[in-house]
Chains A and B, each alone.
Chain A
Amino acid sequence: MSRPPVSSTPGVTGPRAAEAKSLDRRDRAWWFDFGARAAVFVGGMSAILFIAAIFVFIGTQGLDFAIHRLSWSEFLFGTHWEPTVEPPRYGALPLIAGTAWITVVAMLVSAPLAFGAAVYVAEFARGKQREWLKIFIELLAAIPSVVWGVIGLHVMKPIIQHVFDVQIGLNVLNAGVILGLMAAPIITTIAEDALKAVPDTYREAAEAMGATRWQVIYRVVLPHARPGLSAAVLLGIGRAFGETIAVLMASGHRLMIPHSVFDSAATITATIAAELGEAAKGSDHYQVLFVLGLLLFLITFVINLTADWIVRGGRRRA
């Protein structure tokens, strides 16, 4: 095979020194890339900065009280939250229990509803119907929480009193259902994304083997999407957990440990919202509310870390 004379291709066979140099020359694109990287780095780090700043703010507001005067065993296990009575008692267990009860009920309501909706939208709905469903689900997520609170107060309350024949309609069940309905659209949206992220080639491969639609979903799609679905539920829990005004309106806000879903209850968030305005700045009451905030912060942190851990664990297996 014949070769062209070398000199006809100056670009390739030029002096090696120039060749090597061009790989070391930092051109405009390189510097732009450098600058852009620095800019997004600042953006990314700012998230950590804000979280740290909020943590420090909450922490320092309640620090003096938390170290010197708060009995942690009473705070975590005491059953009486009476901050304005003399002597005050700071037992947060009713609030923790109320939060846990309502969150659990909310998840029992929202998870089946949301998964059903997500599977339908992602796997069965087609064309226009799918588009409309998605729009409505997103609208549902955008309803302000105070509206949900009003629904709890004036719609759910009589229904619960009627159906279950109980005296009190503002209780764990009411708040749980309201919160569940609030969290469902968020869980649906994230779960649907997780289902849509399963490549169509997987579905085709399974369907080509004669698997029914349900078999494809159950055996192929759901296992592959499981980390995303778990994360969806945990983010829904985080949402239910942090919700304040709707819970305050629907739960009855009774500062005692609920023993059934028909008992009224109070949550950590609602207590902070209800009492912080009345507490004198810097007082023990004021400070203990910040300790509550810290507790809330830590629990949310743990939930989000767990969600992250699940998602990454799933990827490693995949």
Chain B
Amino acid sequence: MVTDPVIPPLLEVRDLSIHYGDKAALSGVSFDIRQHEIFGIIGPANAGKTSFLRAINRMDDFVPGMRVGGQICFAGRDVATVRNLYALRRRIGVVFPLPVGLPLSIYDNVALSPRLRGVRRRAELDQIVERCLTRAALWDEVKDRLTSLGSLLSGGQQQRLTIARALSQEPDLLLLDEFSIAVDPVTTMRIEEVLKELRNELTIVLVTNLVQQARRLADRTAFFLGGRCVELDATEALFSNATQQQTIDYLGGRFG
């Protein structure tokens, strides 16, 4: 993979540590996430993957007892000190593991974020809604019932609705936390195709339990274990040529 040295990384993580009370979830993690890459994070439960995502858009503000040390810079700006937190979050889309269809109509679910940033014209909203739903591989299934409640869709559909909603933010960075947990394999493949195309427009951090999913999608992959980043490399290099014994064991299915 070629990177232009002139382009600064989108996300710079420096000595990041995360604690819940006395318990460390992540300690001393440092790396860059480049523009327009899909950055995979794999690792067993309790490796600190989700905590890492939470720290990026400062979801720790919601979690009592969660402390973040070190530094995360988004587009060159330390996220801990941004003066308009909401502006930061608007530029980062998040998809949680369990689908969260808001109790609004399908249309309003996707139109919410554009409306928040001031889009009023119906035609423009229609266009955004169709585009985002199409990209999330949901449009064909719901185009005839856009006014029914998003929270009444099936689990897999709600997850795709969540993805469409994240895309409607037109984010620079998309954080996916095990998005395929509630989605069937066929739909998962369709969403994966979409993610590959999205790489042209934005940067994606993909946390996944499916090792092969990281291999299919990610440009580079990091292996997290017990709150540390054990190894980070171009995906193919990591999978075929891991240097750490723990990584080899995990990829070989010997634990986790």
Contacts of A47 in B (CB 8 A): none
Say whether B116 contacts A16, CB under 8 Å: no
**Residue of chain A at shortest CB distance from B172:** A12
Interchain Cβ contacts under 8 Å between A and B, 16 examples? A4-B36, A6-B4, A6-B35, A9-B200, A12-B172, A12-B201, A12-B203, A19-B75, A22-B87, A23-B77, A23-B82, A23-B83, A24-B82, A27-B87, A29-B116, A33-B86
Do the beta carbons of A23 and B7 come within 8 Å of each other? no
Contacts of A6 in B (CB 8 A): 4, 7, 35
Q: Are A12 and B35 in contact (CB under 8 A)?
A: yes
Residue of A nearest to B75 (CB): A19
Residues of B within 8 A of A1 (CB): 1, 219
Give residues 47-82 of B contacting A (CB, 8 Å): 74-77, 82
- Taking CB atoms, residues of chain B closer than 8 Å to A33 are 86
With A3-B2, A23-B74, A23-B77 already in contact, the answer to whether A13 and B86 are too (CB < 8 A) is no
Pairwise interchain contact B7-A20, C-beta atoms closer than 8 A = no
How does the 8 Å CB contact mask read for B23-65 relative to A, with 1 for contact and 0 for none? 0000000000001100000000000000000000000000000
Q: What DSSP secondary structure best describes chain B's contact surface?
A: loop
Contacts of B116 in A (CB 8 A): 29
Query: Distance (Å) between the CB of B33 and the closest chain A CB?
Result: 13
B contact set with A: CB distance below 8 Å? 1-2, 4, 7-8, 10, 35-36, 74-77, 82-84, 86-88, 91, 116, 170, 172, 200-203, 219
**Chain B hits for A20, CB < 8 A:** 75-77
B8 touches A26 (CB 8 A): no
Does any Cβ of B come within 8 Å of A11's Cβ?
A: yes
The answer to whether B35 and A19 have CB atoms under 8 Å apart is no
The answer to whether A30 and B84 have CB atoms under 8 Å apart is yes
> Are B200's CB and A4's CB within 8 A?
yes
B172→A11 contact, CB < 8 A: yes
Residue of A nearest to B79 (CB): A23
User: Contact: B76 with A25, CB < 8 Å?
Assistant: no
Q: Report the tally of A-B residue pairs with Cβ distances under 8 A.
A: 59
Are A23 and B172 within 8 A (Cβ)? no
User: Quick one: which of A78-109 are within 8 Å of B by CB?
Assistant: none
Beta-carbon nearest neighbor of B173 in chain A: A12
Q: A25 near B87 (CB under 8 angstroms)?
A: yes
**Which chain A residue lies CB-closest to B116?**
A29
Min distance, Cβ B115 to any Cβ of chain A, angstroms? 11
How near does chain B come to A261, taking the closest CB pair, in angstroms? Answer: 48
CB distance from B18 to the nearest CB of A (A): 21
Given that A1-B219, A6-B4, A29-B116 are known contacts, is A23 also in contact with B201, CB under 8 Å in the complex?
A: no
Question: Chain B's nearest CB lies how many Å from the CB of A9?
Answer: 6
Complex: how many Å from CA A12 to CA B202? Answer: 8
How many Å lie between the Cα of A13 and that of B4 in the bound state? Answer: 12
User: How long is the Cα–Cα vector from A22 to B90 in the complex, in angstroms?
Assistant: 11
Q: A23-B74, A25-B87 are in contact. Are A12 and B82 (CB under 8 A)?
A: no
Residues 6-61 of A contacting B (Cβ, < 8 Å): 6, 9, 11-13, 16, 19-20, 22-27, 29-30, 33
- A27 and B201: CB pair below 8 A? no
Given A19-B75, A19-B77, A20-B75, residue A29 in contact with residue B86 (CB < 8 A): yes
Kindly list 10 other residue pairs between chains A and B, CB separation below 8 angstroms, not including A1-B219, A12-B35, A30-B87: A11-B172, A12-B203, A13-B7, A16-B8, A19-B77, A23-B91, A26-B84, A29-B86, A29-B116, A30-B84
Q: With a CB–CB cut-off of 8 A, which chain B residues contact A25?
A: 83-84, 87
Question: Contact between B36 and A23 (Cβ–Cβ < 8 Å)?
Answer: no
- A4-B200, A13-B7 known; A23+B35 contact, CB < 8 A: no
B11 to nearest A CB, angstroms? 12
Contact of B201 among A9, A22, A29 (CB under 8 A): A9
| Chain B proximity of A26: nearest CB distance (Å) | 5
Shortest B215–chain A CB gap in Å is 14
